[in-house]
Structure 1
Amino acid sequence: MARILIVEDEPDLALSLEEDLRRQGHQATVARDGAQGLELGTSSSWDLVLLDVMLPKMDGFEVCSELRRAGATTPVILLTARTQEAEKVLGLDSGADDYVTKPFSLRELRARIRAQLRRGSRETEHVFHFGECEVNFDRAELRRSGQPVDVTPQELRLLGVFLRNRGRVLSRDRLIEAAWGNGTAITDRAVDTHVFNLRKKIEPVPSAPRFLIGVRGLGYRFEDEDLTNS
């Protein structure tokens, strides 16, 4: 059973989501506006947040950004009637994990929820394997082909952000927030330098990266279909 927060101001939709989640065996709580959603999201522990974009008092983008700024790592699925690509990018850049466009079927939403809950359970693990590398966060250790690799604590934190967000494009601002913290005077160029150094330590051919992929105009993405953790 998962604890799921629904932040939705449309009464009929909120009730439908709440009832369906409970039929699936989950515990569901509804917040009726953005301010209440943020308060509940930061004051309790949740396994997932379903977050409408068009909300009274505070929109979903702002709620999501504030949740991430407060240190919440709970998966967030945005619900919106907006279909423009720019809106989707804005939502993902605010820290959301997925984006579902209204109208949607409950069947589709259930599948998205299951995927995020599976992902959330994996993120509690601390040992990752990809390519010839093994990363053990409990031991603060990086090994390549079985041999220890010198890695700074900051590089390890940054690598952890990438590993726990496999397949997601992360902007430099998002990386700074997640790996360094808010209010840190880190430039985009400093992020690029850390990524460059990480590539030298994990990539078979650093000049042709296989894992840490640059996405022009957006940021970086960690990509490896064979990534495992335990």
Structure 2
Amino acid sequence: MTTKPKLLIVEDEPIILMGLTDLFVFHGYEVESESDGKKGLSKGLEGEYACIILDVMLPSISGFEICNALRQHSLSQPIIMLTAKNTEEDIINGLTHGADDYVAKPFSTSELVLRVNALVRRSGCTATDKTLALSPNVSICTQTLMGLSYQHEIKYTRREVEILMYLLRQNKPVSREELLKEVWDYKNTCDLDTRTVDIHIAKIRKKIESDPKSPKHLVTHRGEGYQLFVI
């Protein structure tokens, strides 16, 4: 008997929470839920989940705080944020606190299921234990998601490592749309917001570049995409 992947949904609006629970049960998931931020964090830290869906605005503590605490506890836990506003600040805040992806309210249920399914699939395909060396000063263990960058110990998310590994294999500029298809595993990118790619690239640059404003490893080719260089 196949074990169903387990989700944790932390959402304080009862109607939305009930709808999301029914939605993902229908799509083959086992679902646990909380409407309070502190209780959601406690459950997230204690349980094992294929993915955690976090609303931003919650009683007691925010989704951003929960996301940050979960990421400190586990680098590999898949997390999706539900943001009330599709603003640059909300998106940056969520991804900066360690979310793998975000969906803005009001959202399409089919899009949310698509993103959760893609993230769960990707999380089951972690890289084998190896070192990704970008230069004598920058190296990353793709299994532990830890690295050294100019003598500083750096934590990476699984998504960041997957982006780097994919770019390294291509040895050419890669567009945002290609990254969404190949790394995020989205089948149709026509209507998807590509800012999540830009924000992840900015976060990676801060970790691997000595000067993120003048990158030498992760370079943007205008009109073509991003390319990773080993120096």
TM range (shorter): 0.5 to 0.7
Q: Does 1:55 align with 2:44?
A: no
Per-residue deviation, 1:111: 0.8
Which of 128, 147, 155 is the matching residue for 1:158?
A: 147
In 2: Cα distance, 1:2 partner to 1:194 partner: 41
Per-residue deviation, 1:213: 3.8
Identity %: 31
State the partner residue of 2:45: 42
Which of 178, 188, 203 is the matching residue for 1:171?
A: 203
Counterparts in 2 of 1:99 and 1:153: CA distance versus 1, 3 Å: closer
Q: Secondary structure at the match of 1:171?
A: helix
State the partner residue of 1:7: 10
State the partner residue of 1:125: 127
Per-residue deviation, 1:65: 0.6
Q: Does 1:79 align with 2:79?
A: no
Q: Does 1:116 align with 2:116?
A: no
State the partner residue of 1:218: none
In 1: Cα distance, 2:80 partner to 2:61 partner: 17
Per-residue deviation, 1:164: 3.2
In 2: Cα distance, 1:213 partner to 1:153 partner: 16
Q: Does 1:31 align with 2:34?
A: yes
In 2: Cα distance, 1:170 partner to 1:89 partner: 10
In 1: Cα distance, 2:41 partner to 2:72 partner: 11
Read off the aligned partner of 2:161 and give its amino acid letter: L
Maintained 8 Å contact 2:8/2:32:
yes
Matches within 5 A, 1:164-203: 164-166=162-164, 168-169=200-201, 171=203, 175=207, 192-193=209-210
Structure 1 consecutive aligned stretches of length 4 or more whose deviation exceeds 2 Å: 149-175, 191-195
Read off the aligned partner of 1:169 and give its amino acid letter: I
1:97-141 alpha-carbon deviations (Å, 9 max, x no partner): 11111111211111111111122112x231xxxxxxxxx52xx58
TM-score (norm 1): 0.63
TM-score (norm 2): 0.63
Larger radius of gyration: 1
State the partner residue of 1:145: none
Which of 23, 29, 44 is the matching residue for 1:20?
A: 23
Counterparts in 2 of 1:86 and 1:29: CA distance versus 1, 3 Å: same
Read off the aligned partner of 2:55 and give its amino acid letter: D
Structure 1: 5+ residue stretches without partners: 127-135, 143-148, 176-190, 196-206, 215-221, 225-230
RMSD between superposed Cα atoms in Å: 3.3
Structure 2: 5+ residue stretches without partners: 149-154, 165-196, 221-225
Aligned length: 172
1:10-45 alpha-carbon deviations (Å, 9 max, x no partner): 111101111111111111000111111110111011
